[in-house]
Amino acid sequence: MPRFKYEVLDTNGRRHTGLMDGASRGEIIQELNRAGFLPITATESRVRPGRTLRDWLTPEPGSEDVTAMTLDIVMLLKGGVNLSESLRLLQQMGGSRWRIRVLRELHMALSVGKTFSNALSEHPRLFSPIYLKMVEVAEATGRLEEALASLAEERQRMERMRKRLVGAISYPAFLVCAALSAMTFIFMYVIPQFETAIEGFRDKIDPTALMVFNASAFLRANFQTILLSIGGGVLGLLTLGAAGQRRGIWITLVVRLPLARTVLRYEVTLKFCRTLAVLIGNGVDISTSLRLLRDVVRVPAHAAEVDGVIADVRKGYRLSEALETRTFLPRHVVQMLRIGEESGKLPESATRVSVFYEARLDTALTRAIAVIGPATMVLVSLLIAWLIISVMTALMSVNDLLK
């Protein structure tokens, strides 16, 4: 179907532009008129819309921005404002450029007769498949307000947990970067100050101290080459990381570490049960819920097991029966889900499991930060102390030889 670029005036005289699919220009103009806009132009667009320089310089809404926008919509819906009017009011309230643009496009899509889920599907980078499916089911059951509130609450929980995970990684990473910077400064500017003192005595000083001076000389002689190599390595890792996001390369490597394995197991259990509870609780069928959960699980081996669960459920097995033959969830979690399934309270059972594992994950992250931070500081202190002792040993050796 052709795509048309249109320009309209709203009831307040403000000019808006956008894109709309339609069979002909006349159909587009009729749709815009029915939506209460005054069409100015409507021309067929044969070029895929690109992003302007201003678009590239303006940050797109992140996960927290989408959550905040969802909460704003829920607030207005609870106040008795209909969805279309809520989007219009939020647009008028202002905010970032991308937020206003998204709200305007959503409002325009509703105005021309599209469902809210169809309007959201035009922004796949902002709204996940789980978000779209929950809205689609909620529209069919008339529970949009409850579904959006549940979505916003769940997104807030996941964002808090994501911050905890980032915090557990960023603090040790900062310490390592600070240590490397300090050692580079010592090798580049401090140690060379003592090289003249050991000149002529290199074959008589301690080998460890000599290694420090040789390393300093090598770093200064090849600093640009090393810097370029590090830059190329970082670029290569980023490129590999972009490819590895789809293949799970990094997660596969990280999951082999003992502490990381425990944290990731807790996270997988938490995400699986929490998302399952939200989807089933909002009317999504079990087969569709599992298919959406497949994209939530990040460890490739676990995702393959979810595929097996999906296949078994489609054959007629119950969820707990399909999970019993898999290992990505602990045995007692499967038993809890079985009890919920048999009593007809699967969402409640999954929620209880997720609350339990959220507490365990938080405890594991707290312990990790408490161990990794001090351990990194001790390691940094030992390295710097080793450098200082090596230099002092060399100077004392020279002083003894001169006596």
The domains of the chain, with CATH numbers, are: 3-50 (3.10.20), 155-403 (1.20.81.30)
Nearest to residue 127, comparing CAs of 153, 110, 106? 106
Contact 39, 32 (CB under 8 A): yes
Look at residue 57 in the predicted model and tell me its pLDDT.
Answer: 56
For 317, half-sphere exposure in the C-beta direction (CA atoms, 13 angstrom radius) is: 15
pLDDT category of residue 349 using cuts at 50, 70 and 90:
very high
Look at residue 244 in the predicted model and tell me its pLDDT.
Answer: 47
Look at residue 35 in the predicted model and tell me its pLDDT.
Answer: 66
Look at residue 227 in the predicted model and tell me its pLDDT.
Answer: 85
With a pLDDT cut of 90, the percent of the chain lying above it is: 5
237 vs 192, higher pLDDT: 192
53 vs 73, higher pLDDT: 73
Nearest to residue 28, comparing CAs of 123, 115, 37? 37
Spatial strand order in the sheet of 15-21: 15-21, 3-9, 38-44
Contacts of 207 (CB under 8 A, 6+ apart): none
pLDDT category of residue 247 using cuts at 50, 70 and 90:
very low
pLDDT category of residue 348 using cuts at 50, 70 and 90:
very high
| Average confidence score pLDDT of the chain | 80
Strands 3-9 and 38-44 turn out to be antiparallel
Say which DSSP state 192 is in. G
Answer yes or no: is pLDDT of 185 > 80: yes
Which range among 165-169, 174-178, 287-291 shows the weakest confidence by mean pLDDT? 165-169
